[in-house]
């Protein structure tokens, strides 16, 4: 938390074409960790002594722009701040508070929901009626994982999730209604593989990886021939220096089992947002998708909320209420 600073600045009054937004909610996400170091990536590093960025939902409070009126709710990437001035509305999307609570546009109806949707349906190539397919999801009770689990159930799969507490296991079984859940902290990371052998006796068709490391190795041990591994995230590795990051020691199994392994980044797929909204809204209204949120109050507590992601203190989407 010492690496963050809460700074007060003055914001100019909006000029012609500009509008002022007051943020109500912001998202903290594991990918932000990658932006806190200088490496070449799909997204630029955060800059020292500049505000961080991230998903936020706010309300227009002053406007000299015809398209954005006072009272409108907007989604943007100008999180980690209370107020911001838009020059011309670029990168800002209006959202309808009558369709869903505004903060759900940061979670189940937003980036993390879309990530689960794209990952499973596009890269997992999951079709309808997959009675015999077994899907394994790690960080299964998190924002992405919990939606991925339930989409796989909607598509008729046998779903097994891994997560880090008994409470989370219970939520996955009782609310998300997946078939089996394991607490990797209880069984021990070295035993995930043998646990999976019991829970997926016929092998895994699709592994949706949010964690990397030992989870990825354990999944590789248990994949079916011609199975697919969707690489969504590797949160177990994000705080490790490169020299300590572990590749799976059993990657050769990808050859012997003719696996397809593919990584993806959600921001390449925003053109599918409308299709996603249509399906996700339908599933939510049919109560086929449930979700949880962990809310931390106050912008000053955003660093704490962000760091908590790496300790598993959230269940479902981690949000900061500003």
Chain contacts with ligand NDP (rule: CB under 6 A): 29-31, 112, 115, 139, 141-145, 163-165, 168, 210-211, 232-236, 264-266, 309-310, 312, 314, 318
Q: Minimum distance between the CB of residue 92 and ligand NDP, rounded to whole angstroms?
A: 21
CA distance 189 to 14: 54
Residue with Cβ nearer ligand NDP (229 or 235): 235
Please name every residue paired with 84 in a beta bridge, in sequence order, or none if there are none: 21
Residue with Cβ nearer ligand NDP (60 or 160): 160
Q: Minimum distance between the CB of residue 300 and ligand NDP, rounded to whole angstroms?
A: 21
- The dihedral formed by the CA atoms of 222, 228, 232 and 236, expressed in degrees to the nearest 10: 20
Burial class from Cβ neighbours inside 10 Å (0-12, 13-18, 19+) for residue 168 reads buried
Q: Minimum distance between the CB of residue 197 and ligand NDP, rounded to whole angstroms?
A: 19
Q: Minimum distance between the CB of residue 135 and ligand NDP, rounded to whole angstroms?
A: 15
Q: Minimum distance between the CB of residue 230 and ligand NDP, rounded to whole angstroms?
A: 9
Residue with Cβ nearer ligand NDP (89 or 145): 145
Q: Minimum distance between the CB of residue 317 and ligand NDP, rounded to whole angstroms?
A: 6
Residue with Cβ nearer ligand NDP (168 or 228): 168
Could you please report the per-residue DSSP string of 203-265? Answer: -EEEEEESS-HHHHHHHHHHEEEEEEEEE---GGGTTS-GGG----TTTTHHHHTT-EEEE--
Give which of 69, 35, 72 is closest to 51, Cα–Cα: 35
Q: Minimum distance between the CB of residue 310 and ligand NDP, rounded to whole angstroms?
A: 5
CA distance 114 to 234: 18
Tell me how far the alpha carbon of residue 222 is from its chain's centroid: 25
Residue with Cβ nearer ligand NDP (211 or 299): 211
Q: Are 6 and 300 in contact (CB under 8 A)?
A: yes
Give which of 61, 65, 116, 105 is closest to 83, Cα–Cα: 61
Residue with Cβ nearer ligand NDP (17 or 34): 34
**Helices and strands (H, E) in the chain, number of each type:** 10, 13
Residue with Cβ nearer ligand NDP (14 or 107): 107
Extended beta strands in 35-129, E state: 56-63, 73-76, 83-86, 93-95
Two tokens, residue 207: 């592994």
Residue with Cβ nearer ligand NDP (96 or 167): 167
Q: Minimum distance between the CB of residue 278 and ligand NDP, rounded to whole angstroms?
A: 21
Two tokens, residue 51: 């505000």
């Amino acid at each position: 938390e010492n690496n963050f600073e809460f700074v007060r600045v003055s914001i100019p009054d909006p000029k012609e074409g500009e509008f002022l937004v007051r943020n109500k909610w912001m998202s903290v996400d594991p990918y932000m960790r990658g932006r806190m170091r200088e490496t070449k990536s799909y997204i630029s590093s955060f800059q020292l002594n500049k505000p961080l960025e991230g998903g936020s939902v706010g309300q227009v409070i002053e406007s000299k722009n015809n398209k954005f009126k006072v009272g409108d709710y907007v989604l943007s990437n100008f999180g980690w701040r209370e107020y911001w001035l838009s020059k011309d509305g670029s990168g800002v999307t209006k959202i309808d508070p009558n369709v869903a609570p505004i903060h759900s546009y940061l979670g189940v109806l937003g980036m993390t929901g879309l990530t689960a949707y794209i990952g499973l349906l596009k890269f997992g190539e999951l079709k309808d009626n997959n009675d015999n397919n077994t899907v394994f999801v790690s960080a299964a009770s998190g924002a992405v994982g919990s939606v991925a689990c339930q989409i796989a159930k909607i598509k008729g799969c046998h779903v097994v999730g891994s997560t880090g507490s008994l409470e989370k296991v219970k939520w996955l079984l009782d609310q998300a209604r997946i078939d089996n859940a394991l607490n990797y902290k209880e069984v021990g990371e070295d035993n995930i593989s043998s646990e999976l052998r019991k829970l997926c006796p016929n092998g895994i068709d699709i592994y949706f990886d949010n964690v990397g490391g030992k989870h990825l190795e354990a999944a590789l041990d248990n994949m079916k021939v011609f199975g697919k591994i969707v690489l969504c995230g590797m949160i177990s590795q994000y705080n490790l220096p490169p020299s300590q990051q572990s590749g799976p020691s059993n990657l050769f199994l990808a050859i012997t089992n003719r696996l397809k392994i593919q990584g993806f980044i959600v921001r390449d797929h925003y053109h599918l947002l409308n299709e996603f909204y249509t399906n996700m809204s339908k599933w939510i209204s049919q109560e086929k998708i449930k979700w949880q949120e962990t809310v931390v109050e106050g912008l000053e507590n955003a660093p704490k909320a962000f760091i908590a992601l790496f300790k598993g203190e959230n269940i479902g989407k981690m949000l900061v209420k500003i």
